């Protein structure tokens, strides 16, 4: 009997506390709204503002800023232009071209994209999205993971600013 009473004495305050906390939960009011159109978010011209590299095989795991290879203050940095018809163009004056010569573009999933995919007659390139870009966002971050076999060896991170929409 003592054991049963002890269990009730322990359980009752826990049940009451959980009911109290559950009862104080705020109610959600209003509408969340329609989801943003991810395709419309990509439209426009984007200019490179930063380029970094992380060597995944290095014991230090540092990220190096290599922006100077693309941004010299004289030449126009890489520009990517995405059109509504799902074509894209690349303008580059200095540095290595990681984006092909242009072609068509898409996402792995238009509703919940994880990857930006660039298709050209020569190749298909896939980039991790650092976050989804909405129509009013002024920056975009994408990552190119360089692999050897099935293991990533380097991560190149490209940060772009929207220069027109």
| DSSP string across the chain | -HHHHHHHHHHHHHHHHHHHHHHTPPPP-S---PPP-HHHHH-EEEEEEEEEEEETTSTT--EEE-GGGT--SSSPPPEEEE-TTSEEEEE-SSS--SS-S-EEEEES-SSS--EEEEE-SS-EEEEEESSPPPTT--EEEEEEEEEETTEEEEEEEEEEEEEE-
- 41 or 45: which leads in pLDDT: 45
pTM score: 0.75
* Percentage of the chain modeled with pLDDT above 70: 81
Averaged pLDDT for residues 102-127:
91
Angle, CA of 133, 49 and 62, to the nearest 5° = 95
Is pLDDT at 127 greater than 90 in this prediction? yes
Is pLDDT at 20 greater than 60 in this prediction? yes
Averaged pLDDT for residues 128-135:
87
Is pLDDT at 123 greater than 60 in this prediction? yes
- Annotation: CATH topology of 38-164: Lipocalin (2.40.128)
Is pLDDT at 80 greater than 90 in this prediction? yes
Distance of CA 39 to the CA centre of its chain: 14
Average pLDDT across the chain, whole number: 85
Is pLDDT at 15 greater than 60 in this prediction? yes
Res 1: pLDDT: 55
């Amino acid at each position: 009997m003592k054991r049963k009473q002890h269990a009730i004495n322990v359980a009752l305050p826990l049940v009451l506390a959980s009911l109290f906390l559950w009862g104080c939960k705020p109610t959600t009011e209003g509408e969340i709204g329609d989801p943003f159109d991810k395709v419309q978010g990509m439209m426009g011209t984007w200019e490179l503002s930063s380029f970094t590299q992380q060597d995944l095989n290095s014991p230090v795991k540092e990220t190096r800023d290599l922006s100077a290879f693309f941004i010299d203050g004289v030449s126009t940095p890489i520009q990517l232009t995405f059109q509504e018809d799902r074509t894209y163009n690349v303008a580059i004056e200095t540095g290595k071209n990681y984006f092909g010569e242009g072609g068509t573009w898409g996402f792995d999933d238009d509703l919940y994209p994880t990857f930006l995919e660039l298709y050209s007659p020569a190749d298909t390139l896939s980039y991790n999205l650092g976050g989804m870009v909405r129509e009013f966002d002024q920056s975009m971050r994408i990552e190119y993971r360089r692999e050897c076999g099935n293991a990533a060896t380097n991560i190149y991170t490209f940060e772009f600013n929207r220069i027109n929409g």
